[in-house]
């Protein structure tokens, strides 16, 4: 369903005038650097000074459209931004439209690990030159983007992707239950989480469950595997490794001992979140962008609940992992420079702050947002420890053309072990699912 529209006529009134002023100031700087000449070249100036406006189309994966709907770009340079929200169907939609000879968007927001699939389909264009121009024309704004963003978006020596936001998970816990059970925080391993749940279970045996998930998406499955140190061949986890069997044993143990409940697992994340807020669940693994949903008048951060980093099995090769999503320039775009101005607009710290704090887009890669006072005031649950983990995160979902297929098999594994239940041993389960993965 297309919900975007073209913005001709007067721009829609903004709810954040400071952001408008900031972005307009940004493009005034660009105008001073670039001149007013219109061109579609990769290094040319934007087209605001000409008679014909330039239209740039961007497809978003989720609903994180800034409230001014790109009005600053149109007001200053006549760049009309058309947008659409396509969810996870962007790749198939682009292939279908290309085959039908239809025009493709200029920019697409995609899960970063899918970049190789888009490259293999010849759907993306390098934007190394546009990013270099950005650094030259506006070094101050460029410096607000962590350097790792460009490193993670580079393939074969060219920047094809700007992973400008990421999902970051933590363990949210009930303070009273933890203190009552004598549980020590933080956790060194996921088995410590099991022991903590057992301790709460011993003093509060009537709770519906003792650990829940805020969702069961592919990225959460990969995150667990990385935490356990499961080795990968490409983007395929080696479940029959010692770490893989240990991971499955962990899941099976929680199910057998009643630590998890099927109602709080696959497709039941709202139930798990509701149980946590109603103080019927001591531990839940959830993304930090979901944290604002736990902020209630009668459920106060720091008094009733808190957060702690996910445990990482360092001795087994475990690492923390992010699930980034970002924007790429499409092959055949006639306006790569103007498209790059959309990237700059979205990177403006006030626009980035709106997308994160108001639209819950995922943690944005904007240093002023991450280090700013608003983060401390509005999201104290994003603790300094979690922020440091985010900034130093070295791993992401392994890029590949079949990563979604791998993720689907992992979801099936989780469902069998934690929802349906099985009497097979962890080693036997690992062998069965490894065969499925190896057949991809």
**Phi, psi for 21 (deg, rounded to 5):** -60, -40
Q: In the 8-state DSSP scheme, what is residue 309?
A: P
* Residue whose structure tokens are 């099927």: 262
76: closest CA among 116, 36, 123? 36
Mean of the per-residue pLDDT values of the chain:
87
Does residue 3 surpass a pLDDT of 90? no
Mean pLDDT value across residues 202-226? 89
Q: What is the second-level CATH architecture of the domain 169-321+396-438?
A: 3-Layer(aba) Sandwich (3.40)
Q: Which residues have a Cβ under 8 Å from the Cβ of 181 and sit 6 or more positions away?
A: 196, 199, 200, 202, 203, 204, 282
| Nearest partner of 14 among 48, 80, 65, 86, judged by Cα | 65
Q: How far apart, in whole angstroms, are the C-alpha atoms of residue 81 and residue 59?
A: 10
Interatomic CA distance for residues 267 and 281, integer angstroms: 17
- Per residue in 197-208, pLDDT tens? 999 999 999 999
Q: Could you read off the pLDDT of 65-81 as tens digits, one per residue?
A: 999 999 999 998 899 99
User: What are the tens digits of pLDDT across the range 380-395?
Assistant: 999 999 999 888 887 7
Taking the C-alpha atoms of residue 115 and residue 228, their distance in angstroms, rounded to an integer, is 25
User: What are the b/e assignments for 368-377, b being 16+ CB within 10 Å?
Assistant: bbbeeeebee
Instruction: Give yes or no for a contact between 46 and 333, defined as CB atoms under 8 angstroms apart.
Output: no
How far, in Å, CA of 21 to CA of 44, rounded? 24
Q: pLDDT per residue over 102-123, tens digit each?
A: 999 999 999 998 999 999 999 9
Residue 48 pLDDT > 90:
no
- Element counts in the chain: helices (H) and strands (E): 19, 15
Class of domain 17-165+324-387: alpha beta
What's the Cα-to-Cα distance from 415 to each of 132, 216, 323, rounded to whole Å?
46, 9, 21
Please report which confidence band the pLDDT of residue 269 belongs to, taking 50, 70 and 90 as the band edges. Answer: low
Q: Which of 9-18, 211-220, 389-398 has the lowest mean pLDDT?
A: 9-18
Domain spans, the chain = 17-165+324-387, 169-321+396-438
Closest alpha carbon to 418 in 228, 238, 258: 258
Q: Which of 323, 312, 318 is nearest to 230 (CA)?
A: 318
Q: ω into residue 186 within 30 of 0, thus cis?
A: yes
Question: pTM surpassing 0.85?
Answer: no
pLDDT (tens digit, 9 = 90+) per residue, 141-152?
999 999 999 999
Alpha helices in 257-365 (DSSP H): 269-277, 336-347, 349-353
pLDDT reported for residue 270: 79
- Distance between CA 57 and CA 94 in Å, rounded? 13
d(CA 85, CA 239): 36
Residue bearing the bigger pLDDT, 87 or 179: 179
Confidence of residue 35 (pLDDT cuts 50, 70, 90): very low
């Amino acid at each position: 369903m297309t919900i975007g529209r073209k913005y001709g006529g007067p721009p829609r009134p903004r709810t954040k005038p400071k952001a408008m002023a900031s972005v307009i100031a940004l493009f005034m700087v660009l105008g001073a650097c670039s001149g007013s000449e219109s061109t579609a070249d990769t290094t040319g100036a934007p087209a605001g000074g000409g008679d014909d406006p330039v239209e740039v189309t961007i497809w978003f994966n989720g609903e994180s459209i800034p409230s001014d709907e790109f009005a600053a770009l149109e007001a200053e340079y006549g760049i009309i931004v058309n947008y659409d929200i396509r969810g996870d169907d962007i790749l198939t939609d682009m292939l279908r439209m290309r085959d039908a000879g239809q025009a493709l968007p200029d920019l697409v927001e995609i899960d970063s690990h899918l970049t190789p699939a888009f490259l293999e389909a010849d759907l993306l264009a390098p934007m190394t030159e546009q990013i270099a121009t950005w650094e030259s024309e506006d070094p101050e704004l460029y410096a607000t983007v962590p350097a790792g963003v460009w490193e993670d978006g580079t393939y074969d020596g060219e920047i094809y992707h700007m992973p400008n936001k990421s999902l970051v998970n933590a363990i949210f816990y009930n303070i009273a239950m933890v203190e009552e059970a004598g549980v020590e925080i933080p956790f060194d391993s996921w088995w410590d989480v099991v022991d903590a749940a057992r301790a709460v279970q011993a003093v509060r045996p009537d709770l519906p469950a003792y650990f829940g998930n805020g969702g069961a998406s592919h990225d959460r499955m990969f995150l667990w595997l990385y935490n356990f140190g499961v080795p990968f061949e490409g983007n395929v986890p080696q479940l029959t490794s010692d770490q893989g069997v240990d991971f499955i044993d962990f899941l099976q143990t929680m199910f057998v001992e009643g630590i998890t409940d099927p109602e709080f697992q696959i497709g039941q994340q709202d139930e798990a979140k509701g149980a946590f807020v109603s103080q019927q669940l001591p531990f839940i693994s959830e993304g930090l962008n979901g944290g604002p949903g736990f902020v209630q008048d009668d459920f106060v951060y720091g008094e009733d609940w808190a957060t702690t980093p996910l445990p990482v099995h360092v001795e087994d090769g475990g690492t923390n992992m992010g699930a980034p999503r970002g924007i790429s320039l499409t092959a055949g775009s006639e306006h790569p420079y103007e498209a790059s101005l959309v990237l700059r607009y979205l990177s403006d710290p006030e626009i980035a702050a709106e997308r994160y704090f108001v639209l819950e887009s995922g943690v944005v890669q904007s240093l002023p947002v991450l280090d700013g006072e608003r983060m401390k005031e509005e999201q104290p649950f994003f603790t300094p420890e979690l922020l440091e983990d985010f900034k130093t995160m070295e791993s992401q979902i392994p890029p590949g053309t079949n990563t979604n297929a791998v993720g689907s098999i992992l979801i099936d594994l989780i469902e069998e072990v934690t929802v349906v239940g099985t009497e097979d041993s962890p080693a036997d389960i690992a062998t069965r699912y490894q065969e499925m993965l190896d057949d991809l």
